[in-house]
Amino acid sequence: MYSDSLKQSIAALIILFFVLAIVSRYQIAYSQSPSQKILTINISAGSGSKAGSVSMPFSPNILFIHRGDTVMWNNQDIANHSVVALGFNSGTIWPQGSSHGSSIYNHTFDKQGTFIYVDRLHPYMGGVIYVDVPVSQRELVSTTGNSFIKVGVEMPQNAAYENNYGPFFIPANTQITSGTVVTWTNKDYVAHTATSGDGFSFDTKTILPDQSVSLTFKNKGTFPYFCKIHPWMMGSVTVS
């Protein structure tokens, strides 16, 4: 017969075993973080030669993700590239096989917001990443048809100072068809511009508060733009 003290010791060891098993399962479940994802954006081959050389320089050029997700840019081109936005800067993303550095850049998004990014080495290239952004703040798609099409983009109040991660332009990414007129209206208290990333494809010049400027888009592609007065403010227009 076992003594009472020995029985109590055995019972305590059994309880301790089950507690350790539960804690171990809890730690494994959280270390795996099954809800967090890694998504890939390919930098297309030939995209660095000139504007319009490929239909989608960043593929895909629009992503909808959640906080905690990681985006991986993979350079499939023979030219150097970069991705720059408010909150991250890749530096040079080298071609595959280069001895100078990696052809991949990873960034984990830990903040909610609209992130418009541009390739500073090829500023005609850009894309947009929405991190837990409400549908109402995402994008505006114009309808097709024979009628004259107009689409509005708003520069919201305090965009230059308070909305640290956007949207700086509403919608942040405007999807339109060729021939659409886009009108930027400044609802802020200070002046802004909408200037293409390459600096010459389009430029609204200075838009004072409560004023508007309209431009017609005919060429197809994704056109990143920024405010020359507040260069961290970025948006994009996608023309199909």
pLDDT per residue as tens digits for the range 88-98: 999 999 999 99
**What pLDDT sits at residue 145?**
42
Write down the pLDDT at residue 116: 86
Same domain (yes/no): 42, 100: yes
Here the CATH number for the domain that contains residue 127 is 2.60.40.420
* Phi, psi (rounded to 5 degrees) for 107: -140, 130
Instruction: Indicate whether 18 belongs to any domain.
Output: no
* 100 and 60 within one domain: yes
Count of domains for the chain: 2
- The C-alpha atoms of residue 75 and residue 93 are separated, in whole angstroms, by 7
pLDDT at res. 15: 55
CA 66/CA 36 separation, integer angstroms? 8
Residues 129 and 140 in one domain: no
pLDDT of residue 206: 97
pLDDT for residue 142: 41
Contact between 172 and 233 under an 8 Å Cβ cutoff? The reply is no
Q: What domain range includes position 202?
A: 134-240
The answer to whether residues 99 and 178 belong to one domain is no
Helix/strand/coil (H/E/C) assignment for every residue in the chain: CCCHHHHHHHHHHHHHHHHHHHHHHHHHHHHHCCCCCEEEEEECCCCCCCCCCCCCCEECCEEEECCCCEEEEEECCCCCECCEECCEECCCECCCCCCCCCCEEEEECCCCEEEEEECCCCCCCEEEEEECCCHHHCEEECCCCCCCCEEEEEECCCCCCCCCCCCCCECCEEEECCCEEEEEEECCCCCECCEECCCCCCECCCECCCCEEEEEECCCEEEEEECCCCCCCEEEEEEC
Give the model's pLDDT for residue 27: 43
For the chain (240 residues), the mean pLDDT of every run of 10, in chain order, is 57 52 43 71 94 87 93 97 92 95 96 88 90 66 48 89 72 88 95 91 95 93 90 88
Q: Which of 133, 155, 174 lies at the terminal end of a domain, its last residue?
A: 133
pLDDT score recorded for residue 22: 46
